[in-house]
Amino acid sequence: MKGYINNITVKARQLTMLHFFYALGVLCLFSACATVEKPNGGPSDRTAPKMAAATPADSAVNFSSNQIVLEFDEFVKLNNPNSQVLINPFPQEKPALTVQGKKVKIELKDPLLPNTTYHIFFGNAIQDITENNPAAGLDYVFSTGSFLDSCSLSGFAGDAFTQKFTDKAWVMLYKNLSDLRDTLPVYISHVNDRGAFKFRNVAPGTYYLCALEDNNSNYKFDVPDERIAFFTEPFVLSAEKATIDSANLYLFTEKATIQKHLKTEMIHYHTVRSSFRLPLENPKVTILNKKGETTFAWNEKKDSIVFYVKGTEADSLKYIIQDGTFSDTLAQALKFKGRQKDFSTDTLLRLSSSALLEKIAPGEDFILSCMIPIEVWDTSKIIFALNKDTLPAVFTKADETGQRWKLQHQLKPGDNAVLIIKKGAATDIFGYKTDSTKISFRMIAENEVGTLVIDLMNLPGKPLIVSASTKEKSYTQVSAPESDKVIFKNMLPGEYELKIIVDENEDGEWTPGVFDQRLQPEKVFTIPRPVQVKKSWDSKLSWNLEY
């Protein structure tokens, strides 16, 4: 009897274990079915999701629903739909997107306008769940009327000064140009990574075209530092002219009108620089320091000032800048620790020369430059070797502060020179001296330089600021309104970027536009490729300045 009972107990335990493993297997099966995972191994999925169906159908007319369902051929997810999804005409409230498996639901929040074509752009908002492949270029069109509008407008957005494309601009269509300040656009688009944009399915009508780099994400030009572009004349789209191409916009930042202190920083031992947004007209500087002797110098534009504080006992600089109604009290510590660039102990007087790759062009002066003004030279510690001769080295001030010094000896093309500046040859205003340095240079021969001749066509009737630049060297000329030829002589060989500014207000510099006055920025011309200047050669170029 006892053996019989034990046998029953064993069988019961076996049956219980079978039930346990069966339940565990079912649980694992359901768990696997409920979790969508990327399969291991094999090639990566590079195929973007494709829309398999839409309810209502894409390009539907007489549309009256407030919900759209898009179904894809694989499981999808959403990627930042608030910034990626655009709908035109631009709504007061953006649509809401949700995803469930292979379906994306779009809930339209704004009431739909009658007889209007709507176009939804999804950008990269919809991606597959395995490799994040976006359904790029996906869009959906519908009309609340009996037909789809088909007008289009396209172009390019770039920088007004550099002429290079921007990938940050919103491009917008308005019924009134003044709406850019405080009203949402009728249609909106975003440039692609090459600066191109295109409006499609636009209703016939009259529109003002604007571009904006929107710093506060409200689609309005209401922040002073926002970059903008605009056409003063409207574009008219109609059945007869349904397509407009090459509507190019060039963005600029308006010139500031309110003075502001931008930055104060230490740039060398007891040397402080303060920068301002605008040039100061008649600045007054009041030094508040009780320790040390402070001098200062403005730059040529008077938008930056450098202070030199003598005396090792001085540990800070405090001062007041006043100019008309503008006034600011500023301060800078002169001794600090723990910063990446600690200038408080940098006392070495460093010299640099105007020779580019140890060369100076015929007719150019040889200039020594330094950050801290030089107070005195000891010429007995300078050796100047010209060709095979040793000559006295004489330097004279090339500026008011003593930061630029001109070699008085006149060099001739082909001359080779070596300047050996021994330790202590120059002493700056703080009493610190130069270290030993050797500078070799030569004035290149006339057959080693080149000439650039630019023939101008369709002159705009204003002075032209013409520049030719490499990373190391820049040449600039101002051409008279009637002059149809610009000649750069004695240029160092190289590949030069060319630029022409039409100086409308004749102030000698590029001037941006003013939106409220409907003033466009001064026109800038560039060419797509650098121009090569060769030695002993006249490089010639014809340039059409037609607007």
Other CB atoms within 10 Å distance of the CB of residue 341: 9
Q: Are residues 324 and 393 both part of a single domain?
A: no
Q: Is 207:234 a contact under the CB 8 Å cutoff?
A: yes
In a domain, 265, yes or no: yes
Q: Are 474 and 458 in contact (CB under 8 A)?
A: no
Q: Answer yes or no: do 356 and 321 share one domain.
A: no
DSSP letter assigned to residue 130 = T
Backbone angles phi, psi at 161, to 5 degrees: -95, -45
Give the angle subtended at the CA of 483 by the CAs of 504 and 505, to the nearest 5°: 10
Domain span including residue 495? 449-544
Do 498 and 429 belong together in one domain?
no
Decide which of 395, 411, 445 is a domain's last residue: 445
Contacts 24+ apart (CB under 8 A), 399-402: 400/297, 401/297, 401/373, 402/373, 402/374, 402/375, 402/429
Last residue of a domain, one of 113, 143, 173: 143
What's the structural domain count of the chain?
A: 5
Query: Do 440 and 454 share a domain, yes or no?
Result: no
Q: The tokens of 243 are what?
A: 């397509």
SS (H, E, C) 328-351: EEEEEECCCCCCCCCHHHCCCECC
Whose tokens are 């609340």? That residue is 144
155: in domain: yes
Judge if 492 and 509 occupy the same domain: yes
**Residue 320 and residue 360 share a domain:** no
470 part of a folded domain? yes
Instruction: Say how far apart CA 484 and CA 482 lie, in whole Å.
Output: 6
Determine whether 169 is exposed, middle or buried from the number of CB atoms within 10 Å of its CB (0-12, 13-18, 19+): buried
Question: Same domain for 171 and 211?
Answer: yes
Sign of torsion over alpha carbons 199, 203, 206, 212: negative
Please name the amino acid found at residue 55: T
Residue 391 lies in a domain: yes
Q: What is the CATH number of the domain that holds 518?
A: 2.60.40.10
- Cα torsion at 314, 320, 323, 328 (round to 10°)? 130
Would you say residue 382 lies in a domain? yes
Alpha-carbon separation of residue 46 from 139, 210, 349 (angstroms) = 20, 37, 59
Instruction: Please count the other Cβ atoms lying within 10 Å of the Cβ belonging to residue 330.
Output: 15
Residue 32 covered by a domain:
no
Give every strand in the sheet of 395-397, ordered side by side: 352-353, 367-369, 404-407, 395-397
CATH (domain of 119): 2.60.40.1220
At 302, the amino acid letter reads K
Same domain, 158 and 246: yes
C-alpha 26/C-alpha 139 separation (Å) is 43
Q: Quickly count: other Cβ atoms within 10 Å of residue 20's Cβ.
A: 10
- In a domain? residue 192: yes
The 10 Å CB-count burial string (b at 16+, else e) for 253-270 is: bbeeeebeeeebebebbb
Indicate the residue among 429, 445, 461 that finishes a domain. Answer: 445
Which helix (H) or strand (E) element contains residue 189? Answer: strand 187-190
Distance CA 167, CA 69 (A): 31
414 and 373, same structural domain?
Answer: yes
Burial class of residue 245, CB neighbours in 10 A (0-12, 13-18, 19+): exposed
Cα(145)–Cα(115) distance, integer angstroms: 4
Both structure tokens of 393: 């080295």
Asked if the structure places residue 321 within a domain, the reply is: yes
Cα 526 from Cα 547, distance rounded (Å):
12
Q: Strand (E) positions, 474-534?
A: 474-479, 485-491, 494-502, 524-526, 531-533
Residue 390, domain CATH? 2.60.40.3710
Digit-by-digit pLDDT tens for the chain (547 residues) are 444 444 444 444 444 444 544 444 444 444 444 434 445 555 666 789 999 999 999 999 999 999 999 999 999 999 999 888 999 999 999 899 999 999 999 999 999 999 999 999 998 999 999 899 999 889 999 999 999 999 999 999 999 999 999 999 999 999 999 999 999 999 999 999 999 999 999 999 999 999 999 999 899 999 888 999 999 999 999 999 999 999 999 999 999 989 999 999 999 999 999 999 999 999 999 999 888 899 999 999 999 999 999 988 888 999 999 999 999 999 999 876 655 566 677 888 999 999 998 999 998 999 999 999 999 999 999 999 999 899 999 999 999 999 999 999 989 999 999 999 999 999 999 999 999 999 999 999 989 999 999 999 999 999 999 999 999 899 999 999 999 999 999 999 999 999 999 999 999 999 999 999 999 999 999 999 999 999 999 999 999 998 8
Same domain, yes or no: 243 and 216: yes
Task: Identify whether residues 453 and 439 lie together within a single domain.
Answer: no
Same-domain check for residues 475 and 508: yes
